[in-house]
Structure 1
């Protein structure tokens, strides 16, 4: 298997507030999906916990997971201040109770 060139991987797990309506969830999903329009993102994925068997190492406590891969930290930094990203945060922050971010650099 060929190793990836050095990239920055950005993973955000979203823990939504309890009691959101289906409309609230659709609005959140639309906002989250809008991030794919940011050119600096080379790989983009939004998901929910997979329906796999529970194991001690599996954490399915989050509601949504965002995965973005960037060419480098500079592209990640552009993403952080991009108007689409800032708009998503402003319009959708009301839906989450917390987020956990994992940023890693490929080795």
Structure 2
């Protein structure tokens, strides 16, 4: 039990110390050739609805259970200082890491993903997907 608490403390301390590279390493570990990263941004039809936001978050949380998802993160716009390159207009983003393209393809047709789309798609007015692969 002490080892688990030490790991949790060390992880939190490392994340708190900052740095995108450290955060990526803490979330996903070292990049692997062929790894696919799937980043989805959601804009709600009713952006002021706390209920709609919670339904979307609950739906997104269910996707972490899909076997081919190796690492997963759900987030909301950070309160960073505005700059021309920052788009904070979305409500929620989901970041998924897969070992390879086959894992990402399996995710797309998985019953939990299909249920998520069926249940939650009425909540959003727009989604934007960015897929990238490590070199």
TM-score normalised according to structure 1 size: 0.93
CA distance in 2, matches of 1:96, 1:45: 19
Which structure has the larger Rg? Answer: 2
- Please, which of 50, 63, 79 is the counterpart of residue 35 of structure 1? 63
Q: CA RMSD in A?
A: 1.7
SS at match of 2:97: strand
Mapped to 2, the partners of 1:66 and 1:19 lie a distance apart of: 17
Choose between structure 1 and 2: higher helix proportion.
Answer: 2
Unaligned residue ranges in structure 2 (runs of 5+): 1-20
Aligned partner of residue 11 in structure 1, secondary structure: strand
Gaps of 5+ in 1: none
Higher relative contact order (CA 8 A, sep 6+): 1
Tell me the number of residue pairs that the alignment of Structure 1 and Structure 2 aligns: 107
* Alignment deviations for residues 47-99 of structure 1 (CA, whole Å, 9 cap, x no partner): 00001101111111111111000000000000000000000000000100010
